[in-house]
């Protein structure tokens, strides 16, 4: 019997575990370790943050699904990896620490034949002084954060109903934050909710971003075909912001937040402030603080993890000038180069370089978006790695048949601009490939025939349909495997 250990049960990890079990059946063992006992559909957190969905509409208990699939689930966090075993247990293992109430604080060595790191990001609120829930800003990065944001938003709404003006600051909370899309959606949804309540005239909404131009979204922006015309995402994003009465501050790296005041540095090297009554700022991401040790207990963390804590995979990490980067630098199989039975998927893998052009402020501060690996790419990568491992276990394949280079992979995104069956809006956009290929597409960087975007009420229906479709898939309901990632 072969054992596959999956660390993390988010979009990527849960996808990998589900396909592994489907392909391997009862003859082999799949173990999932996750600090949370819930799966959450993160794209719908923005609707929790404006009171349009409840927490229980975006999450479900993992144990019920894993018991049905006969996957061994452990509510714990991984703290150390021993890819060679040790003097006592001469087999690769991960040390985990239990989070569940019945075993809280206990540790266990979980051995494996194959290891998939799908732990996702650590929300690095401490990288920005005063940032995050419990301090001076809010978040929609988890269902609990989003629920808390809705509580605070209701307080602002009550003040506005009494005639009090409110200042909203939404965007990125660090000079190298990614996930601009989630913050962008939240800003638009707040504007929509206030308009529905006829309170928008009492709101000052500001979008603050580390992007060089709005619409960069950590992928260097894009040119999209819209209504027969070629439009840069800069124009697309700025138009949507303007139509919703949202001002914007671009090329800004927030470095400190005080009560009601965000301090930021501009690309030009100026230090400025933005006052607020309500702020939701996305933190920077980093890998989880796992260490790795060899059989003699020597620290070999650098053989598995990059300095930012994300896992090294089959990418080209050679430092290069921006103009020399190429899609061939990006991973295809997500296998660690030093330990061939270790893989990393979703946000857990270390990208070889940024997609947006790296920039520094006049003061030398790096100020640009980190590359996104969320949503559709995470699901696709999780499935590809699961299928390759299953093929290796069942058929002894030495060559990987399935590959997922982000420079050859397309992605679809639906950006909500308001929840309502009759008045709701969303922008639908497809980008192919995710990482621009300037050699193949010298004019636009991407296939302009498949990189398209539209906005309208139909987009909201699509996003709502996708919510229920992906929850159906994640719960393992009939024919779940036929649904796309």
Of the candidate CATH numbers 3.50.50.100, 3.40.640.10, 3.40.50.970, 3.40.50.1970, the domain formed by 3-123+286-395 belongs to 3.50.50.100
- Which 3 state secondary structure label does DSSP give 213? coil
Q: Which residues contact 263 (CB under 8 A, 6 or more apart)?
A: 254, 255, 256, 257, 271, 272, 273
Whether pLDDT at 297 is above 90: yes
Torsion of CA 458, 460, 465, 470, to 10 degrees: 130
The percent of residues above 90 in pLDDT, for the chain, comes to 94
Quote the pLDDT of residue 375.
Answer: 86
Average pLDDT over residues 9-23: 98
Enter the DSSP assignment of 305.
B
How would residue 143 be classed by pLDDT, with cut points 50, 70 and 90?
very high
How would residue 101 be classed by pLDDT, with cut points 50, 70 and 90?
confident
Whole-angstrom Cα distance, residue 88 to residue 90? 6
Q: pLDDT tens digits, residue range 302-350?
A: 999 999 999 999 999 999 999 999 999 999 999 999 999 999 999 999 9
Q: Is the pTM of this model over 0.85?
A: yes
Quote the pLDDT of residue 422.
Answer: 95
Quote the pLDDT of residue 228.
Answer: 79
Whole-angstrom Cα distance, residue 220 to residue 216? 5
Quote the pLDDT of residue 102.
Answer: 87
Whether pLDDT at 374 is above 90: no
Weakest-pLDDT range from 24-33, 113-122, 218-227, 236-245: 218-227
How would residue 31 be classed by pLDDT, with cut points 50, 70 and 90?
very high
Asked if the domains 3-123+286-395 and 127-285+408-482 are classified in one and the same CATH topology, the answer is: yes
Whether pLDDT at 70 is above 80: yes
Quote the pLDDT of residue 240.
Answer: 95
Architecture of the CATH domain 127-285+408-482 = 3-Layer(bba) Sandwich (3.50)
Domain map (residue ranges) of the chain: 3-123+286-395, 127-285+408-482
Whole-angstrom Cα distance, residue 124 to residue 212? 22
């Amino acid at each position: 019997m072969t054992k596959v250990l999956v660390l993390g049960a988010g979009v990527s990890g849960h996808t990998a575990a589900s396909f592994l079990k489907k392909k391997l059946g009862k003859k082999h063992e799949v173990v999932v370790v996750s600090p949370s006992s819930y799966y959450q559909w993160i794209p719908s957190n923005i609707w929790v943050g404006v009171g349009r969905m409840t927490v229980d509409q975006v999450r479900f208990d993992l144990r019920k699904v894993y018991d049905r699939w006969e996957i061994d689930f452990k509510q714990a966090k991984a703290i150390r990896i021993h890819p060679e075993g040790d003097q006592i247990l001469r087999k690769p293992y991960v040390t985990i620490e239990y989070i569940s109430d019945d075993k809280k604080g206990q540790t266990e060595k979980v051995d494996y034949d194959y290891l998939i790191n799908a732990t996702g990001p650590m929300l690095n609120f401490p990288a920005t002084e005063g940032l995050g829930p419990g301090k001076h800003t809010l978040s929609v990065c988890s269902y609990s954060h989003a629920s808390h944001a809705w509580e605070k938003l209701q307080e602002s709404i009550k003040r506005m109903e009494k005639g009090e003006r409110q200042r909203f600051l939404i965007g990125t909370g660090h000079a190298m934050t990614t996930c601009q899309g989630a913050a962008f959606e939240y800003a638009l949804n707040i504007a929509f909710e206030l308009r529905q309540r006829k309170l928008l005239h009492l709101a000052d909404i500001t979008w603050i971003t580390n992007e060089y131009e709005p619409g960069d979204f950590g992928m260097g922006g894009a040119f999209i075909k819209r209504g027969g015309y070629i439009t840069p995402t800069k124009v697309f994003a700025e138009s949507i912001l303007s139509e919703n009465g949202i001002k914007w501050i671009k090329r800004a790296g927030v470095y400190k937040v005080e009560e009601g005041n965000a301090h930021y540095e501009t690309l030009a090297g100026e230090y400025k402030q933005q006052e607020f009554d309500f702020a939701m700022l996305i933190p920077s991401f980093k890998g989880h603080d796992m260490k790795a040790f060899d059989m003699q207990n020597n620290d070999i963390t650098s053989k598995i993890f990059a300095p930012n804590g994300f896992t090294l995979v089959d990418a080209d990490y050679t430092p290069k000038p921006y103009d020399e980067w190429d899609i061939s630098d990006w991973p295809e199989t997500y296998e660690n180069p030093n330990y061939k039975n270790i893989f990393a998927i979703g946000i857990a893998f270390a990208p070889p370089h940024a997609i947006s052009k790296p920039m520094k402020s006049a003061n030398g501060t790096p100020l640009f978006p980190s590359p996104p690996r969320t949503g559709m790419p995470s699901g696709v990568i999780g499935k590809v790695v699961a299928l390759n491992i299953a093929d290796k276990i069942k058929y002894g394949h030495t060559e990987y048949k399935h590959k997922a280079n982000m420079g050859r992979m397309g992605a679809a995104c639906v950006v909500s601009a308001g929840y309502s069956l009759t008045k709701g809006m969303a922008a639908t956009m497809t980008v192919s490939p995710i990482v621009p290929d300037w050699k193949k597409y010298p004019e636009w960087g991407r296939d302009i025939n498949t990189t398209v975007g539209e906005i309208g009420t139909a987009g909201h229906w699509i996003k709502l349909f996708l919510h229920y479709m992906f929850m159906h898939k994640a719960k393992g309901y009939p024919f779940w495997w036929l649904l796309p990632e």
